[in-house]
Amino acid sequence: MQQSVSLSVEIPEELHLSVQHYLDVHSGWGQDRLFCAAISLFLMQNGVTKRQVSRIYLDSLFGQQPESDKEMIHSN
């Protein structure tokens, strides 16, 4: 089961505006999905070879829900 951690970060306003514009145009994407894809891609490009990081990237890229979210949906 994948656990989530909440982050609070400050980013440049121009980056924030660009993220907001992207999310407005691409309704299938959310802020959490975008940041998971971006952070996991950054880590893979910089030498992190953990399978879990690759899985998070691919799930984010293709819109798959993390296993913990799937379990919550099926249990309701």
- At 27, the amino acid letter reads S
- pLDDT band at residue 20 under the 50/70/90 scheme: very high
Contact by Cβ (8 Å): 3, 68: yes
Phi-psi region of 7 (alpha: psi -120 to 50; beta: other; left: phi over 0): beta
pLDDT tens digits for range 25-62: 999 999 999 999 999 999 999 999 999 999 999 999 99
- At 29, the amino acid letter reads W
